[in-house]
Amino acid sequence: MPIYEYRCGDCGHQKEHLQKFSDAPVAACPACGSDTYQKLLSAAGFQLKGSGWYATDFKGGSSSKASSSPAAEAPKAEAAKSEAGGGSTPCGGSCACH
For residue range 26-78, list pLDDT tens digits in order: 999 999 999 999 999 877 766 666 666 666 656 565 555 544 555 555 555 55
Task: State whether residue 71 is helix, strand or coil.
Answer: helix
Q: Is residue 73 included in any domain, yes or no?
A: no
Q: Is residue 29 included in any domain, yes or no?
A: yes
- Whole-model pTM over 0.75: no
94 has a pLDDT exceeding 60: yes
**Under a CB-based contact definition with an 8 Å cutoff, are residues 56 and 66 in contact?**
yes
Measured distance CA(16)–CA(29) in Å, rounded: 12
Give the chain's domain count.
Answer: 1
**Under a CB-based contact definition with an 8 Å cutoff, are residues 14 and 7 in contact?**
yes
Residue 14, domain extent: 3-39
